[in-house]
């Protein structure tokens, strides 16, 4: 295994974003440099599929990749239920990251400052947003548009589309 070192694209040099270390895949040539989302909706009613479809379409409209890839940059988790004409939702946005280069963790540092690495694969997540919402079912499309806009501008501004991709 060869060690690959990259400069992290965050203000914290000890954090490597998932998107900076991802290996090229089927999206690499078609849509490069786009953060990936995984949208998870837990709902035992038909409205759950509607919520997932609507929010995924709003994210795609903002140039984010939305798929069920096993290495997303962001996970948007929604627990929802419909009560009459209202849809009640708990919405959580999580950003995934690693503390070091994937597959390695710091083991020791010698007297010359060289770092020894041991095998690892630790992924961490950061809770970026949590909100509870009650939305009339008829207004789900408008709510989803406002939600995605707010998340993109307020909570994800550091990872706008167009940043450098990484290999994993």
Task: Provide the pLDDT confidence category of residue 1 given band limits of 50, 70 and 90.
Answer: very low
So what's the pLDDT on residue 78?
97
pLDDT in tens, 26-57: 444 444 567 888 999 999 999 999 999 999 99
Q: What are the tokens at 3?
A: 């060690």
Dump the DSSP string for 122-148.
-EEEEEEEEEEEEEEGGGHHHHHHHHH
Write down the architecture of domain 16-159 according to CATH. 3-Layer(aba) Sandwich (3.40)
Does this model's pTM top 0.75? My answer is no
Q: What is the pLDDT of residues 54-77, one digit of tens each?
A: 999 999 999 888 876 677 888 999
Q: Where are the domains of the chain?
A: 16-159
């Amino acid at each position: 295994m060869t060690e690959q070192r990259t400069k992290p694209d965050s203000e914290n040099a000890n954090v490597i974003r998932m998107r900076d270390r991802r290996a090229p895949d089927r999206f690499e040539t078609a849509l490069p440099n786009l953060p990936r989302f995984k949208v998870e909706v837990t709902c035992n009613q038909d409205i759950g599929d509607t919520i997932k479809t609507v929010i995924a379409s709003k994210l795609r409209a903002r140039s984010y990749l939305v798929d069920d890839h096993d290495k997303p940059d962001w996970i948007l988790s929604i627990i929802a239920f419909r009560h009459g004409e209202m849809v009640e939702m708990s919405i959580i946005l999580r950003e995934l990251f690693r503390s070091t280069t994937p597959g390695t963790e710091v083991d020791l540092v010698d007297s010359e400052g060289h770092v020894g690495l041991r095998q690892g694969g630790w992924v961490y997540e950061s809770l970026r947003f949590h909100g509870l919402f009650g939305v009339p079912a008829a207004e789900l499309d408008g709510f989803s548009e406002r939600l995605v806009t707010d998340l993109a501008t307020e909570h994800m501004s550091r990872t706008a589309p167009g940043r450098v991709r990484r290999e994993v």
